[in-house]
Amino acid sequence: MPPKNPTKQRRELPPAAAAFTIEEFCAAHRLSPSMYFKLKAAGEGPREMHVGARRLISYEAASVWRREREVETATLPE
């Protein structure tokens, strides 16, 4: 059904972000930036993509990274 007042424009929500900056990734995963770079140096950081001069982490890469950490944790001896 069309809006009652066609001259009023509907406000659209902005699209959801499809990738994290490193700062956003750290905040979302409760990591300090120094811990992020420590993990990255050890080869345990998430996969990054380079877009121009920026480094981004896709939500899919973040999800894979979380799963890998869960598997590692599950196999640790108690």
Listed in sequence order, the DSSP H helices in the chain are: 22-28, 33-41, 59-74
What's the pTM value of the predicted model, to 2 decimals?
0.76
pLDDT digits (tens, 9 = 90+) for 35-58: 999 999 999 999 999 999 999 999
Task: Say which residue the tokens 């994290």 belong to.
Answer: 20
Cα–Cα distance list, 21 to 33, 51, 74 (Å): 11, 11, 28
Q: What pLDDT sits at residue 64?
A: 97
pLDDT band at 7 (very low <50, low <70, confident <90, very high): low
Rounded CA gap, 13 and 27, in Å? 23
Task: Say which residue the tokens 């996969």 belong to.
Answer: 47
Average confidence score pLDDT of the chain: 89
Tokens coding 63: 């999800």
Taken in order 52, 56, 59, 63, the sign of the CA dihedral is positive
pLDDT digits (tens, 9 = 90+) for 22-35: 999 999 999 999 99
